[in-house]
Amino acid sequence: MDINIDTDIDNGLDTEIDTDIDTDIDYLFETIDTDLTKFMKSQWREQLFHQKPSQSGVNFLLLPMSKAKATKILGICPRTLERWTEVAQFVPEYRLILLRMRAFAQEKRLRAPLMTTYQVWVVGKIGELFSDIVQGIDKKPLVEVIVQMNKSEYTRSVFEQELLRFTSQENGETDYVG
């Protein structure tokens, strides 16, 4: 196919090519995200709940973390983290903390908002949903509906209960059932 830049641009060929490229890029990212969910660390909870104690003695659960650390704990790429955090915003407690962290970052002139351990936990649970859905399905809308219908599974109190199960398992008191 010969391309005449002046004529073809006037006839809308550039728009057609841009649309095709956008569609291809969206498909590529969907495929990459789908493939990467297979590699999410299965032990992400252990890494999240068993972080090294801080030098100051402050409980690590109270200290925020960077998105880079969150991606490392979950074993995913930053693009996948962004995709999953978009879904996490359907959880009211998550959204409230997100707004607070954004305001804090803006007030303190931080380059990017930080994440709390609770937020990473929510995102990790959402990632498990993405992993559970078979390949070939547009996962994000389905996961959004599941999260909206089960908001009570993503509350701060459920997070704290799971944390207690992990810490008491570490002390030999109970077994984690999750």
**How many CA atoms does the CB half-sphere of 174 hold within 13 Å?**
11
Report the distance separating Cα 129 and Cα 150, nearest Å: 12
Instruction: Output the average pLDDT for the chain.
Output: 81
Q: What is the DSSP letter of 65?
A: B
Q: What is the band of 128 on the pLDDT scale with cuts at 50, 70, 90?
A: very high
Q: What is the band of 16 on the pLDDT scale with cuts at 50, 70, 90?
A: very low
pLDDT at 154: 98
pLDDT at 146: 97
Q: What is the band of 62 on the pLDDT scale with cuts at 50, 70, 90?
A: confident
Is pLDDT above 60 for 115? yes
Q: Enter the pTM of the model.
A: 0.73
| Residue closest to 101 by CA, chosen among 83, 119, 78 | 119
The rounded percent of the chain whose pLDDT value lies above 90 is 55
What digits encode the pLDDT tens for the residues 80-103? 999 999 999 999 999 999 999 999
Q: What is the DSSP letter of 115?
A: B
Domain spans, the chain:
5-170
Report the distance separating Cα 155 and Cα 92, nearest Å: 8
- In the block, tokens 């929510």 appear at 122
What digits encode the pLDDT tens for the residues 130-158? 999 998 999 999 999 999 999 999 999 99
Going from the C-alpha of 25 to that of each of 11, 22, 100, 135, 152, the distances in angstroms are 24, 5, 33, 18, 35
What is the token pair recorded at 114? 């930080």
Lowest mean pLDDT among 8-12, 42-46, 169-173: 8-12
